[in-house]
């Protein structure tokens, strides 16, 4: 998300990084969950981890894993050895079915333990709720080559305020032409752990990251007026204790085919 400071107020820098390049997900509202695993290889084991992971992916495909998994690695930052493995989207009952599949195919889990696990230094596991009502993503769009992801640490006791401001911003983008201009985005909330939300923006390539002629800050002022837009950004920024931005690149060689 390429940002230029808008002269009206400093708060617009936040919304610009939040809502650059966002059709609603054409899925049932109950199938709004994503599962994510984050792996960091042991020091010096990165090449072995990748080779073992690719071998494990082949085993899962051959065994008939009902889920497709997309692997992303960071393009920027200090933790460049992180691998995010993600599947979307499903409902909670489907997670029970998937765990049953894993139990029935214990050879897949055994292969992981024998092949990949020896090279893993740390693991994190999360579920995320996708906010389809406030997102804009093409129905037929496959996994993005690049993802610009902004994460928001929600301040204690400020979750309701954050979600209200997020909804208001997104609905303006959806109903006043920002989405019709071809911009795409997807909101999510982490289930459990400390309150965290995020927005992912897809890019076809790095050239696609060049900002359009109109920044979202100017779009918001155009449709709300300067005073109202400033107040809305203040409500959003005051509900957040911190933010971070990462560009993620899809690893096609480590991802499973899309079902």
pLDDT exceeds 60 at position 11: no
Residue 15 pLDDT: 43
pLDDT exceeds 70 at position 34: yes
**Alpha-carbon span 11 to 217, nearest angstrom:** 9
Percentage of the residues of the chain whose pLDDT score is greater than 90: 80
CATH topology for the 12-250 domain: Alpha-Beta Plaits (3.30.70)
Is 8 strand, coil or helix? Answer: coil
Residue 202 pLDDT: 94
- pLDDT range class, residue 10, cuts 50, 70, 90: very low
**Alpha-carbon span 244 to 184, nearest angstrom:** 19
**Alpha-carbon span 150 to 257, nearest angstrom:** 26
Please write the tens of the pLDDT for every residue from 122-143: 999 999 999 999 999 877 677 8
Percentage of the residues of the chain whose pLDDT score is greater than 70: 88
What's the residue count for the chain?
Answer: 259
Residue 147 pLDDT: 96
pLDDT exceeds 90 at position 16: no
**Nearest-10 crossing angle of helices 226-237, 216-224:** 120
**Alpha-carbon span 90 to 109, nearest angstrom:** 21
Residue 149 pLDDT: 97
**Alpha-carbon span 236 to 62, nearest angstrom:** 47
Report which of residues 24 and 105 the model is more confident about.
105
Residue 214 pLDDT: 85
């050239």: which residue's tokens?
A: 207
């Amino acid at each position: 998300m390429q940002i230029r400071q808008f002269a009206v107020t400093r708060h617009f820098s936040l919304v610009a990084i939040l809502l650059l390049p966002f059709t609603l997900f054409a899925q049932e509202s109950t199938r709004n969950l994503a599962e994510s695993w984050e792996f960091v290889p042991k020091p010096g084991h990165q090449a072995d981890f990748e080779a073992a992971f690719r071998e494990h992916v082949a085993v899962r495909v051959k065994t008939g894993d009902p889920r497709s998994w997309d692997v992303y690695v960071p393009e920027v930052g200090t933790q460049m050895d992180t691998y995010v493995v993600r599947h979307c989207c499903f409902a909670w009952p489907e997670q029970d079915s998937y765990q049953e599949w894993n139990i029935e195919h214990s050879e897949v889990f055994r292969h992981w333990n024998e092949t990949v696990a020896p090279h893993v230094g740390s693991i994190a596991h999360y579920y995320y709720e996708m906010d389809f009502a406030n997102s804009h993503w093409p129905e037929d769009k496959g996994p993005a080559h690049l993802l610009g992801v902004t994460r928001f640490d929600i301040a204690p006791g400020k979750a309701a305020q954050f979600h209200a401001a997020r909804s208001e911003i997104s609905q303006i983008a959806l109903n006043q032409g920002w989405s019709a201009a071809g911009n795409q985005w997807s909101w999510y909330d982490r289930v459990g752990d400390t309150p965290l939300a995020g927005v992912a923006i897809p890019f076809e390539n790095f050239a696609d990251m060049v900002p359009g002629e109109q920044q979202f800050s100017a779009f918001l002022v155009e449709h709300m007026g300067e005073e109202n837009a400033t107040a809305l950004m203040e409500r959003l920024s005051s509900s957040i204790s911190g933010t971070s931005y990462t560009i993620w690149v899809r690893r096609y060689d480590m991802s499973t085919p899309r079902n």
